A and B are shown apart, each in its own frame.
Chain A
Amino acid sequence: MHTEKEEVLSNIGSYEKRCDGFDWGVSKEILSWKDGELLNIGAICSDRVCARGWGDKPALVWEGFGDKKRTYTFDDLKLHSNGFAKLLVDIGIEPGDRVCVFMDRIPSLYFSFLGILKMGGVAQPLFCAFGDESLEVRLASAGTRAILTTQKHVKKVRKIKDRLPALEHVIVVEGDRSKLKDGEGFFHVESADRVEEFDVFPADPETPSVLHYTSGTTGQPKGAQHVHDSIWGQALTTSWVLDLRDDDVYWCTADPGWVTGTSYGIIGPWSLGVTQCVLDSGFTSARWYQFIQDHRVTVWYSAPTAIRSLMRDGEELAGKYDLKSLRHLASVGEPLNAEAVVWSERAYGLPFHDTFWQTETGSIMIANYPGMEIRPGSMGRPFPGIEAGLLDLKTHEELTEPGKVGLIAFRPGWPSMFRAYRGEPEKYRGRFVGARADATPDELRTDTGLWYVSGDRSSIDQDGYYWFVGRDDDVINTGGHLVGPFEIESALVEHEAIAEAAAIGKPDEVNMEVVKVFVTLNAGYEPSGDLELAIMNFIRKRLSPLAMPQEIEYVEKLPKTRSGKILRRYLRALEWGEDVGDLSTLEDD
């Protein structure tokens, strides 16, 4: 089975030939793009596919909990995204306004995302497991004018709405309309009047499209702003890395609250007119296998955390399902360990292909390609047209010697690169090595003499394969999601029992890292199991389950520099059994 499948030539064909004389214009060829066509990601993913004659082709095959199943064609996608676009125009949303999508992976999430783009708005998808505090900082930063949510999640919006003066509209798109509060709107697109045609906003390549928030070491999360020009990067990488073809049934398991879920869970596959499946229910291995079997999924893009969970449940379980439809597997979110690659070949007859990219890059930058040798444990090689390199950890000089560890960096200029951190130009400039202090964002994103620094460390072997080493900062990568320690620490000290806190990532077999916190207690509080559980649930509800500490260590005092800054790297090094490094700045006892 495996051999026969490999005989089919991949979309990318020869990697070397694709790199030779590469031009992003090849993406337009793949999309059969004609000069003068309307640029708008929302319309490219729906109206344009219909105009190519694929209107009755399934676009979204959806399953939710409780045996709910729906299939929507590209005609449906056009109609329902038009419905959302018209709604937003009718309530006064204007091009450039931020509109948050805050819901489970229900069909309306996908319709509304495209609808926002079609009317020129900026789609701001947020992970629906965020608690009210995580939601508030992101809506406040974005100056969000409208939020589309569900009866299940609107309660979190109600708690914070009074503190968000820019948030004028709260629209519930699913649930019981009789449960709405004053000032909230209800819009169920499938019951609303049909909007056959909508006058789509003609975007400029630099028109803002999607705003994704990502966590850093210090401060609150930053809004990485993307533009409609990103489509070329997303479509081409979808074709060459994920190898999607017209007759594929594709499943991207990522939530659109995160960038994978939009770049490759919406934009990439639908711009190419590919059918994709969405499973909106919790994870169990059996449920996932059943879903693949039922829908004859051919291409599967998932994450190491899920793959390791599937591994834990064993090959025997996989063998109970008919998974022969699968022909290509890929992974993203954190490094895919070699064992998982080898195991997937045994369990499914196919290896997972690791890919590397970030919220800021907008599309895949380094990958293992279909039809090309996989080196298990390696991230692969740079995408054609991407100039990648490693920079010395201290001097930021480019490293040329194989095996040396450096910072992964890219020369600016690829289409899906982020264009700004919303409202934080200094932080944006800080991501580019060699930038002038007065360089504008446009200069930064086009100056191919600079390096955009990713914040991840790696080495390169003599054949140009990248091997992940770790992050270069304190950000915690748990289950493929980045969590900022500052956010957790800020929330922890709001708990009545906690005086000071430090959050780090500790090693975890399934999630790569999980959150561990060190806390000192206020007078009158004693360490106890009850307090530990109370702290865990406090963070889970305020921030998110991802940010919830999975271990709490009570300490008498936290290690600090003489200037009073908590030394997370010291705690992290102790936790990981690594060299603690230079402690000359450590505060004396």
Chain B
Amino acid sequence: MDEMKDAILEYVADEYIDEDDEIELTADTALISSGIVDSFSMVSLRAFLEKKYDVRLPDGEATPDAFDTVNSIIALVQKHLG
């Protein structure tokens, strides 16, 4: 769980946040509704998750709400890990 959280946080920090953005990223930081990750960029985040965890996240569940925080993303990925 913590390992997954760290991996997702690291990916979001590396890909969507600049070093001097001064955003304190936690597992509860809003990603979509804050504009850190826009709805189009969500696709690459989803691709990262599907590849890294070898899961398929259905279209109907990979929604902006489900991707809004790292914690909600973890819940979605774990649901589909089987």
A interface residues (Cβ-Cβ under 8 A, vs B): 65-66, 104, 129, 152, 155, 179, 280-287, 309, 312-313, 478-479, 509, 514, 529-530, 532-533, 536-537, 540, 544-546, 548, 550
Contacts and interface: CB of A to CB of B under 8 A. Distances in A.
Nearest to B31: A282
A286 B41 CA distance: 20
B10 interface: no
Q: Secondary structure at chain B's binding surface: helix, strand, loop or mixed?
A: loop
A284 B44 contact: no
Given A179-B20, A281-B33, 16 more contacts: A65-B35, A152-B21, A282-B30, A282-B35, A282-B38, A283-B32, A283-B64, A284-B64, A287-B33, A313-B65, A530-B51, A537-B15, A537-B44, A540-B40, A544-B40, A548-B41
27 contacts: A65-B33, A104-B35, A129-B38, A152-B21, A280-B35, A281-B33, A281-B34, A282-B30, A282-B33, A282-B34, A282-B39, A283-B32, A284-B64, A284-B65, A287-B33, A312-B63, A313-B63, A313-B65, A478-B40, A479-B40, A529-B47, A532-B47, A533-B44, A533-B51, A536-B44, A548-B40, A548-B41
Contact of B41 (A66, A104, A155, A540): A540
Contacts of A530: 51
Contacts of B51: 529-530, 532-533
B29 to A, nearest CB: 11
B43 interface: yes
Contacts of A537: 15, 44
Interface string B40-62: 11011001100100000001100
Contact of B38 (A287, A532, A545): A545
A485 B47 CA distance: 22
Interface residues of B, number: 27
Contacts of B36: 282
Contacts of A532: 47, 51
B65 A285 contact: yes
Nearest to A529: B51
A104 B36 CA distance: 12
Contact of A546 (B33, B40, B64, B68): B40
A546 B68 CA distance: 19
A309 B32 CA distance: 14
Contacts of B43: 514, 536, 548, 550
A286 B65 contact: yes
A385 B40 CA distance: 38
B41 to A, nearest CB: 4
A509 B59 contact: yes
Give the 5 A-B residue pairs with the shortest CB-CB distance, closest first: A545-B40, A529-B51, A545-B41, A282-B32, A536-B44
A358 B34 CA distance: 29
A80 to B, nearest CB: 23
